[in-house]
Amino acid sequence: MSALRVLVTGSSGFVGAALVRYLLRDPSTHVIAAGRRPAACVDGAEFRLLGELGAGEPAVELFADVDVLVHAAARVHVLRDDCADPLAEYRRVNVAGTLDLAHAAARAGVKRFIFVSSIKVNGEESRPGMPFTAQDQPAPQDDYGISKLEAEIALRRLSAQTGMELVIIRPPLVYGPGVKANFLGMMRWLQRGLPLPLGGLKNSRSMVALENLVDLLAVCVRHPQAADRVFLVADGDDLSTSELLVRLGRALGRPARLLSVPEPLLRGLLGIAGLGRIRQRLCASLQVDIGETCRLLGWRPPVTVDAGLLEAARHFQGRTC
């Protein structure tokens, strides 16, 4: 029986590289890493050159003999975007670039297209006791989330026209070895032992360990029930910001020094400082319901939050010592 041929875009990125390594564990899967730099290819994977997303439709030959395409490449979300027109740039890469890939893949006979989207399609915060579900009306509030929603809509249209199966995965914050951005900033603060005025926060936020995300993606590569569905993914153990810092500090071996500043005061101070987006991420709740994902796919997150935090902490300390 021939191996299932799976092509992964963004194969040198945080999620893509981890997925390539994960898929290589299965001898029945032939893994193809698509990217712009052969030197960044994971050992053991076939490499195929992929041009810049949004620069035009790639050659159909890129997808020759490919059964499943996992699209993990994207223009990622950043808090401070210095681009003159961020929405236009997100659309060029995340919408037009994604559709270019999908059109070429459909013409080449790719059977399944797995799109790594974002929980930002649902919105920036969930109401108390009402976690996001895949059936919720989308309500993106920033340019990145808007671009991901527009890509989802266009992909559904193309799937209906061509018969290429579509699987959409919407992860919340992804953490793990090599994580960057705000999560990396938290580890740096904790490592330095600096006090943080976040001990009074009682919110609840879902996250997903990198290994849990790539495990679900690997399940969706083959599972028949995954076709033409949207799945939310998380660890299944929601934490307040203060709880996250305590457990992350434990993983780092650096107990969190948290000051219990009343939340209204904290929100006000962050607002005065012009840090409204950071305030939302620190103080608001964003919960994800993974019940349908688990039920339909027979899936459970294989890694606990504490195990995922420990892996992230070990990698961080290994890089900084």
pLDDT in tens, 37-95: 776 677 889 999 888 888 788 888 899 999 999 999 998 866 556 677 889 999 999 99
Residues forming beta bridges with residue 232, ordered by sequence position? 170
Q: Is 24 found in the same domain as 39?
A: yes
- The rounded mean pLDDT for the chain is 92
The token pair at 260 is 């219990």
Instruction: Give the separation between CA 11 and CA 246, rounded to whole angstroms.
Output: 33
End-to-end CA distance of the chain: 47
Catalytic residues: 144
pTM for the structure as a whole: 0.94
- Please report the pLDDT score of residue 157 as a whole number: 98
Q: What is the mean pLDDT of residues 226-235?
A: 98
- Please report the pLDDT score of residue 36 as a whole number: 81
Looking at the structure of the chain, the number of domains it has is: 2
Instruction: Give the separation between CA 238 and CA 301, rounded to whole angstroms.
Output: 13
| Residue 236 or 38, more confident | 236
| Residue 303 or 261, more confident | 303
- Please report the pLDDT score of residue 86 as a whole number: 87
CATH number of the domain bearing residue 58: 3.40.50.720
* Position 184 confidence tier, pLDDT thresholds 50, 70, 90: very high
CATH number of the domain bearing residue 185: 3.90.25.10
Q: Is 191 found in the same domain as 71?
A: no
- Please report the pLDDT score of residue 274 as a whole number: 73
* DSSP H or E segment with residue 70: strand 68-71
- Please report the pLDDT score of residue 77 as a whole number: 65
Q: Which residues contact 33 (CB under 8 A, 6 or more apart)?
A: 7, 8, 11, 12, 16, 20, 41, 42, 45, 46, 47, 48
Q: Is 245 found in the same domain as 157?
A: no
Instruction: Give the separation between CA 244 and CA 235, rounded to whole angstroms.
Output: 13
Map tokens 């420990």 to a residue. Answer: 310
- Please report the pLDDT score of residue 35 as a whole number: 86
- Please report the pLDDT score of residue 282 as a whole number: 87
Q: Which residues contact 25 (CB under 8 A, 6 or more apart)?
A: none
Residue 14 lies in a domain: yes
Q: Is 153 found in the same domain as 22?
A: yes
Could you say which of 113, 146, 170 is where a domain stops? 170
Q: Is 195 found in the same domain as 131?
A: no
DSSP letter string over 149-217?
HHHHHHHHHHHHHH--EEEEEE--EEESTT--HHHHHHHHHHHHT--BS-TT----B-EEEHHHHHHHH
Q: Provide, for the chain, the percentages of residues in helix, strand and coil under a 3-state DSSP scheme, each rounded to the nearest 5.
A: 45, 15, 40
- Please report the pLDDT score of residue 43 as a whole number: 81
Q: What is the mean pLDDT of residues 268-290?
A: 83
Could you say which of 121, 147, 170 is where a domain stops? 170
Instruction: Give the separation between CA 156 and CA 135, rounded to whole angstroms.
Output: 15
Map tokens 């679900």 to a residue. Answer: 216
